Amino acid sequence: MGLQAKGIFLLAVLGAALWGLWPTVQAYRPGADPAQVKYKVNLGLDLQGGMFLDLAVDSAAAADRVLDRLAVELENALLDSHVDYVSVERRGPVVEVVLGAREKPPWEDQPFKRILAQYRLAPGDRNGFAIRLPEGEADTIKKRAADQALEVIRNRIDSLGVSEPQLQKQGANNIIVQLPGLKNREAALAAIGTQAVLEFFIVEDGVSPSLADPSKHSVKYEEVRDASNKVVRRDPFVLGRTPVLSGETVRDARVAISNSNGRPYVAISFDSMGAAAFERITTRYRLRRLAIVLDDKVQSAPVIREPITGGEATITGQFTMQEATNLAVVLRSGSLPAPLNIAEERSVGATLGEDSIRQGLISLALGFAAVVVFMLVYYRLSGGFASLALLLNVVLVLVALAGFQATLTLPGIAGIVLTLGMAVDANVLIFERIREELLRGTAPRTAIDEGFRKAFWTIFDSNLTTLFAAFALLAFGTGPIKGFAITLTIGIVASMFTAIYVTRFFFDLFYARRPRLVSLSI
């Protein structure tokens, strides 16, 4: 490639870099909203402030919930198959089923064979049966609970519109959540921490709460609020012991406004399995009340006037618009497999973020200035070539971060500073090779060629080994470590280009065209 072609290519790269960096300049100018700009350098939690959460997943409850669902499914199947039974209850790690004295066990028939395919069934006394999870299955469910919770939380956070949220597992049961730039703390906690366990119970109208039998009934409450949304009383409801339907079959949830009172409510639709189950339940319990229970609180308990087909239902209550919106979000994203406990919560203020940015930029500027001064003093004009290449290196790193929509953190700035040193190191190797050739009496043009040629593989090997380390940090690192690895990886690739191609272009531009080249400023 000729010198003119190299110059055109380099100008094209520089123009594209400045064009790619312009959205970042626009995003963070005073009064601008960074969320409205897509291809920009996103700032991490430590640079722009936000919210940090350490969530502990109660994985032991996940296995209990699986057995609770099994008990509900078995009881519905027994009712649909007209099998006489005495009770279906979960007792610890076992679901106990007691059939009628003369009833033949239906376990080899459908749908029982399908329902019990992955469980262990053992006969007991008086036509009773104990059903439990296979050996090791409970541990598998507990381990899987954190992974499932991570995906549910990720879906919920996406609805908040937070730019570049960071989520990762820590240990077996903890999830670290970082929400840069988040301003509405309450909305985040409501969306993330809500269990969103939706269940439907039949109301036992003829039973007083004080006379409810815990083995047959459960008592749950509806919160009644005043105009200021303050809870003024809690009305008790006596419900069946187990729900007749859970919210796992909910396909969609959306907010609507009631024509009668103007209050928001949530309209839900079930998938095909849930729609069939809902129709069967509303047919079986016609003219009885169906309580809609969310996270152990009764939202409403309408009377079933007629069978409900089509898989559509509504959740009414004294919701505000924000509460109804949050409820629709969490129902769409699914219920958590186990309860979450907030082990740690931190809010990083914008002031701290501004201080971090200022200190990071100061360190970057001081590091760059020190390198430039050293190169100019020690290598003179050639050091100036290296300094220009170094400046382009920083611009390319920032453009790459914006293009990949990566997040710049404080450790990421440290990675850029480290990259500056590595980029200069490549130029030092080249310049020292050129000096060696000149000391041997080699002609200046030949010394330039030999210096770049001999130093290339040394530079390539050293950068490649560092790149392997950066890939390892990317694969296994989390949070700040990953931010450091991202900028280090991009910086290594950029430094190879600037140290070898850009610096060589300046040598050719200043020296190659001279008819008689006697010495080099190196």
> Could you tell me which of 455, 453, 448 has the C-alpha nearest to residue 510?
448
pLDDT at residue 35 in the model: 61
> Could you tell me which of 97, 142, 91 has the C-alpha nearest to residue 121?
97
Name which of 219-223, 349-353, 414-418 the model is least confident about: 349-353
Say if residue 363 is in the same domain as residue 503.
yes
pLDDT at 350 over 60: no
Which one-letter amino acid corresponds to residue 498?
Answer: T
Report how many domains make up the chain: 3
User: Measured between alpha carbons, how far is residue 431 from residues 343, 398, 434, 460, 461 in Å?
Assistant: 55, 27, 5, 16, 18
pLDDT in tens, 419-446: 877 778 888 889 899 888 888 888 888 8
> Could you tell me which of 491, 485, 480 has the C-alpha nearest to residue 410?
480
CB atoms within 10 A of CB 286: 12
Name which of 52-66, 96-110, 343-357, 447-461 the model is least confident about: 343-357
Say if residue 340 is in the same domain as residue 395.
no
> How big is the chain by its Cα radius of gyration, in Å?
33
pLDDT in tens, 109-166: 888 888 888 888 888 777 888 888 887 887 888 888 888 788 778 777 776 666 667 7
d(CA 106, CA 384): 87
pLDDT at residue 38 in the model: 65
Residue pointed to by tokens 């291809």: 39
Say if residue 122 is in the same domain as residue 218.
no
On whether the CB atoms of residues 408 and 42 are closer than 8 A, the answer is: yes
Looking at 106, 135, 164, which one is the last position of a domain? 135
Which one-letter amino acid corresponds to residue 499?
Answer: A
The mean per-residue pLDDT over the stretch 16-38 comes to: 68
pLDDT in tens, 222-246: 887 776 667 778 889 999 888 888 7
Does residue 357 lie within any of the structural domains? Answer: yes
d(CA 81, CA 88): 15
User: Measured between alpha carbons, how far is residue 168 from residues 338, 403, 426, 488 in Å?
Assistant: 17, 23, 36, 21
> Could you tell me which of 229, 207, 227 has the C-alpha nearest to residue 217?
207
pLDDT at residue 30 in the model: 63
The mean per-residue pLDDT over the stretch 321-350 comes to: 73
Q: What is the share, in percent, of the chain residues with pLDDT greater than 90? A: 1
The mean per-residue pLDDT over the stretch 354-380 comes to: 81
Work out the pLDDT band at 335, boundaries 50, 70, 90: low
Say if residue 226 is in the same domain as residue 181.
yes
pTM for the whole structure: 0.54
d(CA 485, CA 478): 10
**Burial level of 436, CB count in 10 A (0-12/13-18/19+)?**
middle
- Give the range of the structural domain holding residue 461, as residue numbers without chain letter: 3-48+349-512
322: domain CATH number? 3.30.1360.200
Say if residue 168 is in the same domain as residue 290.
yes
pLDDT at 185 over 80: no
Torsion, CA 294, CA 296, CA 300, CA 301, rounded to 10: 120
Q: Which residues pair with 265 in a beta bridge?
A: 256
pLDDT at 311 over 60: yes
Say if residue 416 is in the same domain as residue 356.
yes
Say if residue 337 is in the same domain as residue 355.
no
The mean per-residue pLDDT over the stretch 345-371 comes to: 72
- When the pLDDT of each residue in the chain is averaged and rounded to a whole number, the result is 80
Work out the pLDDT band at 470, boundaries 50, 70, 90: confident
Say if residue 337 is in the same domain as residue 279.
yes
d(CA 376, CA 312): 75
Torsion, CA 267, CA 273, CA 276, CA 281, rounded to 10: -80
Structural tokens at position 465: 């080994």
Say if residue 93 is in the same domain as residue 165.
no
The mean per-residue pLDDT over the stretch 268-275 comes to: 81
